[in-house]
Amino acid sequence: MGELHPKHGLCKTDEGLVRGACLNAGAQSLAPQALGIQDVEREGHAHPSRRFQPRLRGRLGQFCGRCAHDVSFLRKQPQVARCSIDRSKKSPAGFRVKKRLFRLTKKGACLVRLPDGDYIVSPVYKAVKVLEFIAESGRDVSLTEVANALGMPKTTVFRYLQTLSATMFVSHDAARDRYGVGMRFRDLARADNSMHRLRRVAVPVMRELNQTFNETINLAIESEGEIVYIEIMESTRTLRMQARVGSRNPLHTTALGKAILAHLRENERDALLARKLSELTYRSIVDSKVLRRQLKEIRSRGYSIEIGENEESAMCIGVAILDDLSYPIAAISLSAPEQRQSDELIESAGIALMAAGRKISEQMATG
């Protein structure tokens, strides 16, 4: 019986395929010649010693564990493809090991090749490749498509997709079982340069609204299920609403957040509404069914209204800023003390904000 490589947990011995978790002390650092391996030619598969030799990694490649021949040579050997030893057939664990060894040596089994480097983390690299494939596809894709394109096992790809979905880098449409680009990926894609452009385009429009209504005008984006203020123009009135650039608030308690939620893709909206809805005031909506009905009204009306849900004695009207694919990239709002609330203000501000949102969207699209 031999000792095993801790990474692959496989070795081939006279008794069959077995699994383990340790090497002889220092064996990993020994050269093949130091272990009695003299012949490194690929013309034969002679074993220089009956003593088991640990699997090695080095300039000669990845070794099988009993000889100096690497995996590219073993692919051609009938005993690898056959692997019909008693231990493999009788033991479920042995059968899994057999499949793993065959997959390891099968030509073209995985199309993802790691770059050279001592600090490359294989799972992270492969997860990035999965994300790249989804982004470059330009459409929603299935688990099978990703696995086939990258030559990776479905179970491995499934775990990567579940992790990416949990972090919102990938969106999952459960009804069709398809995966697409998620909100966090879009956030990164439009970060920095796009954010600078958004501010540059939005500031003149915000200034015009501020002068027209003399109320506080806010610009915000969505990030990790919250809205983040990126630009604020305050009213000059003594009694006015104030916020700080960089501060965050929940999506469901703000007009800005509701405007964004209303225009998200359905599966992205479902993922956000599946979370617990926090109650900031007694008016905050914490029932997802009630919130869904309100979001439907917002899509129909064109703007959102929030009164005392995020902060008592405050009101806000918001509109989403959409890209050329009608996806919400930001939102703009007017906020004022609740005591100045009126149907006339809500209607006139709603119309003005919708026009402002369209203007910003058009300028962002044209560059």
Distance CA 226, CA 217 (A): 18
- The three-class DSSP label of residue 310 is coil
Per the model's pLDDT, the better-predicted residue between 278 and 43 turns out to be 278
Classify residue 305: in a domain, yes or no. yes
Q: Which of 181, 198, 231 is the last residue of a domain?
A: 181
At 7, is the pLDDT very low, low, confident or very high (cuts 50, 70, 90)?
very low
Q: Mean pLDDT over residues 169-187, rounded?
A: 86
Per the model's pLDDT, the better-predicted residue between 285 and 324 turns out to be 285
Per the model's pLDDT, the better-predicted residue between 158 and 244 turns out to be 158
Q: Mean pLDDT over residues 184-208, rounded?
A: 80
Q: What is the pLDDT of residue 348?
A: 94
Query: For residue 309, what are the contacts with CB-CB under 8 A and spacing of at least 6?
Result: 253, 254, 280, 281, 283, 284, 285
Classify residue 294: in a domain, yes or no. yes
Q: How many domains does the chain have?
A: 3
Q: What is the pLDDT of residue 114?
A: 60
Q: Give the pair of three-digit tokens for residue 115.
A: 């770059």
Distance CA 105, CA 114 (A): 16
Domain extent for 135: 122-181
- Residue 302 shares a structural domain with residue 321: yes
- Residue 313 shares a structural domain with residue 202: yes
Crossing angle of the two packed helices 288-301 and 266-273, in degrees rounded to 10 = 140
Residue 26 has pLDDT above 80, yes or no: no
- Residue 144 shares a structural domain with residue 273: no
Condensed to tens digits (0 to 9), the pLDDT of residues 82-109 reads 444 444 455 566 666 556 555 554 444 4
Classify residue 113: in a domain, yes or no. no
At 361, is the pLDDT very low, low, confident or very high (cuts 50, 70, 90)?
very high
Residue 60 has pLDDT above 80, yes or no: no
Q: Mean pLDDT over residues 165-181, rounded?
A: 88
- Residue 164 shares a structural domain with residue 200: no
Burial class (CB in 10 A: 0-12, 13-18, 19+), 79: exposed
Worst-scoring range by mean pLDDT, 65-69, 269-273, 288-292? 65-69
Q: What is the dihedral of CA 271, 178, 299, 251, to 10 degrees?
A: 20
Overall pTM > 0.85 = no
- Residue 248 shares a structural domain with residue 303: yes
Q: Which of 105, 134, 159 is the last residue of a domain?
A: 105
Distance CA 40, CA 9 (A): 24
Residue 42 has pLDDT above 60, yes or no: no
Q: What is the pLDDT of residue 291?
A: 93
Classify residue 3: in a domain, yes or no. no
Q: Which of 52, 74, 105 is the last residue of a domain?
A: 105
At 142, is the pLDDT very low, low, confident or very high (cuts 50, 70, 90)?
very high
Place of tokens 């123009």: 233
Residue 220 has pLDDT above 90, yes or no: yes
- Residue 208 shares a structural domain with residue 294: yes
DSSP state of 63: B
- Residue 53 shares a structural domain with residue 91: yes
Place of tokens 């405007």: 259
Q: What is the pLDDT of residue 260?
A: 95
Condensed to tens digits (0 to 9), the pLDDT of residues 179-193 reads 988 878 877 766 655
At 206, is the pLDDT very low, low, confident or very high (cuts 50, 70, 90)?
very high
CA-wise closest residue to 309 among 228, 227, 235, 253: 253
Q: Report the run of H or E that residue 318 belongs to, with start and end.
A: strand 314-322
Q: Mean pLDDT over residues 148-156, rounded?
A: 89
Query: For residue 234, what are the contacts with CB-CB under 8 A and spacing of at least 6?
Result: 216, 240, 241, 242
Q: Are 260 and 320 in contact (CB under 8 A)?
A: yes
Residue 340 has pLDDT above 80, yes or no: yes
- Residue 55 shares a structural domain with residue 194: no
Mean pLDDT of the residues in the chain: 75
Q: What is the CATH number of the domain that holds 142?
A: 1.10.10.10
Classify residue 117: in a domain, yes or no. no
Per the model's pLDDT, the better-predicted residue between 291 and 29 turns out to be 291
Output Rg (C-alpha) for the chain, integer angstroms: 30
Distance CA 41, CA 73 (A): 10
Q: Give the pair of three-digit tokens for residue 308.
A: 């005392």
